[in-house]
Structure 1
Amino acid sequence: MSQRNHSFADFPRISAWPVYAGCAWALLYAVLIRFYQAAGGTIGLPGTIHDPDAFRQASYNAGVAITVCAFILLALANPGRRALFPRIPWIGRRRVQRFALLAPTLFFSCILLAHGVAGMLRNVLFLTGSISIDLPLFDTVNLRLFSLWDLLVYELWFLIMGVLSGLAAAHYAQSSGVSPSAIRVGALLYSLVSLLASALLLYAVLA
């Protein structure tokens, strides 16, 4: 039993699956949601957009940003690499520092989790009739249908993406030699900050 528990605790260190799963999950959302809507797709938009051109541009920008982040996430798969882009002059010769990858990954993982948790709770409260919501993005909209889509697609993606990127950071930390005690303390602080961020974001949304 103790050997099994030890193996489970070390799983992120001996496997890079969260890195590749996170990259695939991000690309899936970028292509099937953001780039699709940027091209004029209307699935998931149960209403009339107030400014379609601005919305399509925003969707395209979001898709590009998510795609870039997806490939940057792959850097966490191999902590032994001395450089991210070894063939690029100047930049490629610089050694990758652990903090330079871990800090932004954990920060955005926290934001993703908070977004997902707060958004899902808001939609549940709306669907149960506890609160009302306003969507200035639309001129006309089926609020209930949009809330269901937001709950089951958008916010679910944020939640899963936050979990995967957090696990990817744990894999990188363990594989790059961060001490187990530091990882435990970091995981505790990360969990507390994520919960606090979720509560603050939910409060801001409901206020």
Structure 2
Amino acid sequence: MSKMTMNDTPSSQILNAFERFTKTSAWPAYAGCFWALMYAVFVRFYEAVDGFIGGFGQPDDPESFSMASYIAGVVILLCGFVLIGLVKPWGKVVPVWVPLIGGRKIQRLVILVPTLLCTAFLIAHGLTGMITKALLLAGVITINLPGWIVDTNRFALWDLLFYEPWFLIMGILSGLTAAHYAHASDAPLSAFRRSTVLYLIVILLLTMFLTSSIVFDFVDKISF
């Protein structure tokens, strides 16, 4: 009996570098959870107790800003822990101690859809912010910041060098985790590839739309 070689494997089933990485690597989930924890605690919760990181200005309504920062911090923490669920057994099967639905298999789209929506927002937010703040610093555009008393240039530097890179890195880690979960949930490889291409196109279009909305100011009061 002859041994199977790589030539015997259909080319459509041979994993590329990205697919091999996402199939075998669970660490982006843990890195994403840590990244979310650091940002929630040292940025959002710090802002919630009236600490203004960056020193570029202050909001017109500090109390509302503090509450918004606290809520954002809680949501970010929850999102970080969700990423852990994508690489743990309880992300695929409901724990048996859960009343009524314990032990049931979780449909992968129930987890993937909200994760991918958040990932698209994070990446588009980061890219849009970095592009527009670079244009602002270059003197190409101006950006209105209603509700803030702000040093615009210092704000742009803070956004470009810290705030938006966090969004971009968090989005990448979230996307890699979602891809790992799709492999672990036995998603067909052909569907995985088609979905990846379509998803990247959606992120590109969303980034283009948000960037254009700021550059040409055709969406009222949008702020990044």
Unmatched tracts of structure 1, length 5 or more: none
> SS of the counterpart of 1:83?
coil
Mapping for residues 82-121 of structure 1, pairs under 5 Å:
82-121=92-131
Distance 1:9 1:119, change over 3 A: same
Q: d(CA) in 2 for partners of 1:7 and 1:204?
A: 35
1:17, CA displacement in angstroms? Answer: 0.8
1:91, CA displacement in angstroms? Answer: 4.7
Unmatched tracts of structure 2, length 5 or more: 1-5, 7-14, 218-224
Q: Where in structure 1 do 4 or more consecutive aligned residues deviate above 4 Å?
A: 5-8, 79-82
Alignment deviations for residues 125-165 of structure 1 (CA, whole Å, 9 cap, x no partner): 00001011111231x31111111111111111111111111
Indicate the residue corresponding to 1:167 in structure 2: 176
Distance 1:79 1:166, change over 3 A: farther
Q: d(CA) in 2 for partners of 1:127 and 1:81?
A: 43
Structure 2 residue 196 is the aligned partner of structure 1 residue 187: yes
Alignment deviations for residues 72-128 of structure 1 (CA, whole Å, 9 cap, x no partner): 121111357553444332354442111101111111111111111111100000000
Moved more, 20-29 or 71-80: 71-80
- In our comparison, the structure showing a higher alpha carbon Rg is 2
Q: d(CA) in 2 for partners of 1:7 and 1:53?
A: 48
Distance 1:80 1:71, change over 3 A: closer
Indicate the residue corresponding to 1:18 in structure 2: 28
Alignment RMSD (CA, Å): 1.9
Partner letter of residue 39 of structure 1? Answer: V
Partner letter of residue 176 of structure 1? Answer: S
Indicate the residue corresponding to 1:124 in structure 2: 134
Structure 2 residue 159 is the aligned partner of structure 1 residue 150: yes
Indicate the residue corresponding to 2:50 in structure 1: 40
1:10, CA displacement in angstroms? Answer: 1.0
Greater percentage in helix: 1
1:40, CA displacement in angstroms? Answer: 1.2
Q: Percent identity?
A: 47
Q: 1:71 aligns with which of 81, 89, 103?
A: 81
Q: d(CA) in 2 for partners of 1:175 and 1:79?
A: 10
